[in-house]
Structure 1
């Protein structure tokens, strides 16, 4: 069975030589390699999206610490961000416009939820940001120096685990709504903490898949807009990782 990155942005269907400019299709036109996806270009786009996300986060963060309720813009940001993700997944050529929008609205969500956690557990946001950054750098180093190799078996295990987590979260959420059921991962017991650690590990492993797919996109000379597409997909994984770190740290802090 051949699994690929669970991130819809970084699937083989999107990062395929078939996605190259139509101008190349008939073989009669010269290809402008300045309009191809590059690693440096993807890194630059990722940095831009990160700055936009931080700017959006500052808005709801400021609201929370100035007596205003950040819940509405946070929820709105999450909804709009999710919609933009879906649109970009089916129309990757619109990524140069959708990716900055996603970063901005997702920033509103991140800022609001971060402020809520910070008000309850002072210092938790800085620790979560640091943990996310360290995890990203470690994974990047392991991938760059080929210490971790992304094989088909590696992909299969990571994607299967990711889908299992998504299914578990969905079923738990529905059960809590219908049966007034409290999922085990909601508490601060050892089982809940163990689940959070497992989810963080899987989220981190997804970074390797993201790096691999971006590198393959560069090697296959994808169109320039795929830099935004790849950067947006990587940001999605980083946001997921950050939120999971927030949840883990909050569980640990609540036990004190």
Structure 2
């Protein structure tokens, strides 16, 4: 069965062995070895009767335990960074915003690399956590938004569990059409967010109105739904990676993708709760 995941298809994983080309039979039409049976040293070589050494892969295939461990490590780093931001940078949002911008650059850098770089992923997680912690602490200090970060955390967990159940029971099926729809919708959402930010910066106020009122609530709901759909894509990536024998290092990419999606959902959930409680 051929994988539809472009990452695993490009790297040539097969469901039989987990490694492209390993243990494959000789190809038809290959030229015969002109030296076969004519080795003058075969008779005197005491090791000639021993079987040749077998190739041993340098890494074993990825397992669910690998994904769980690395995702826990990455999310744990986010939580550690968030604790630092909450305790020390709530009153210094400028530093937190700087950390968030650097985290965004690191995230883009890893996204364009063909192989995972664990140090890069963990650095992203730490800096993103600092930003989230400082922002959440600041919002929590506002009387009408007190407790909003905890509500956003609980909401994010609820979305994760709901989508995991929906995916495992095949209520949500990830197909090529589903993937295209989610990606196009996400691109449109991000572009609208950027346009709204530009209008807010240069024209003042709330820009196009995507950050407050009824339109802001609707936009926030769309953001949470998109995050939930991206979770389904992440689950599919993990499932395909295990089924097609992706190398163990690919579990870092799975952890990175899940972390990105959960951060997205938390941010949209926090913004939605802020709008609902602020109106």
TM-score (norm 2): 0.78
2:8 is the alignment partner of 1:15:
yes
State the partner residue of 2:61.
36
8 A Cα contact 2:196 2:210, kept in partner = no
Q: 1:124, 1:142 → 2: CA distance?
A: 27
Partner of 2:273: 249
Could you list the runs of 4 or more consecutive aligned residues of structure 1 that deviate by over 4 angstroms after TM superposition?
Answer: none
TM-score normalized by the length of structure 1: 0.85
Aligned in 2, Cα 1:31/1:16: closer, same or farther, shift over 3 Å? farther
- Return the alpha-carbon distance in structure 1 between the equivalents of residues 119 and 60 of structure 2: 17
Work out which of the residue numbers 83, 107, 115 in structure 2 matches 1:93.
115
**Aligned residue in 1 for 2:76:** 51
Greater relative CO (CA pairs within 8 A, separation 6+): 1
1:17·1:221 contact (CA, 8 Å) conserved in 2?
no
* 41-50 or 89-98, which deviates more: 89-98
1:114 to 129, 136, 145: 136
Q: 1:110 to 1:215 in 2, by over 3 A?
A: same
Contact 2:156-2:262 at 8 Å conserved across structures: yes
- How many residues in Structure 1 have an aligned counterpart in Structure 2? 239
Decide which structure has the larger Cα Rg and report it: 2
Report the 3-state secondary structure (helix = DSSP H, G, I; strand = E; otherwise coil) of the residue aligned with 1:229: helix
Cα distance in 1 for partners of 2:89, 2:122 equals: 24
Structure 1 residue ranges without an equivalent (≥5): 1-10
Q: How does 1:126-141 map to 2 (within 5 A)?
A: 126-141=150-165
1:201 to 218, 225, 228: 225
Q: If each structure's helix is expressed as a fraction of its own residues, which one has the higher value?
A: 1
